């Protein structure tokens, strides 16, 4: 079985620069970690707290904040690994439900258009 770099890691560390705009930033490193079920350390931004609802440690963008987050990851790795897998499953179920709603709306709109034609 082929294992990618992220899949072979124990956890992900993905921090953002403080001057970045959180409304226009997509945290792909964190998303990739969740996709392969790895806990992560990320910047302590409200947007990221909302996005990563399990399996994450949120660190201030300081040397001390990162040090404390790395130490916490070492102590809580097993717990966070379980959390991120549960979060990934919940997120997939939420996405699937939203996709079904969208598909139903598109099908209904197409049916209306077909009837009018």
pLDDT above 70 covers what percent of the chain? 78
* Residue 96 belongs to some domain of the structure: no
pLDDT at 96 over 50: yes
Residue 69: CB atoms within 10 A of its CB come to 22
Distance in angstroms (rounded) separating the CA atoms of residues 25 and 77: 26
Q: How far apart are CA 81 and CA 5, in angstroms?
A: 17
Neighbouring-strand partners of residue 56: 40
Range of the domain at 56: 5-85
55 has pLDDT over 60:
yes
56-59 β-sheet, strand order: 12-14, 40-43, 56-59
Q: What is the CATH number of the domain that holds 11?
A: 3.40.50.2000
Quick one: which of 28, 23, 40 has its CA closest to 87? 40
Q: Is residue 20 part of a domain?
A: yes
- Beta strands 12-14; 40-43: pairing state: parallel
CB atoms within 10 A of CB 45: 17
What mean pLDDT comes out for the span 31-60?
A: 90
What pTM was estimated for this model as a whole? Answer: 0.70
Residue 94 lies in a domain: no
Q: For the chain, how many structural domains are there in total?
A: 1
Tokens for 42, please give them. 């990320």
Q: What are the beta bridge partners of residue 42?
A: 14, 58
Q: Is the pLDDT of residue 7 over 70?
A: no
């Amino acid at each position: 079985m082929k294992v990618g770099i992220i899949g072979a890691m124990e956890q992900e560390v993905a921090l953002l620069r403080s001057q970045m705009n959180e409304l226009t930033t997509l945290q792909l490193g964190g998303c990739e970690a969740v996709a392969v079920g790895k806990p992560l350390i990320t910047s302590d931004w409200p947007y990221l707290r909302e996005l990563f609802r399990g399996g994450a440690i949120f660190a201030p963008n300081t040397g001390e904040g990162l040090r404390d987050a790395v130490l916490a990851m070492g102590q809580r790795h097993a717990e966070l690994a379980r959390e991120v897998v549960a979060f990934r499953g919940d997120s997939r179920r939420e996405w699937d439900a939203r996709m079904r709603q969208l598909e139903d709306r598109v099908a209904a709109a197409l049916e209306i258009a077909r009837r009018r034609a």
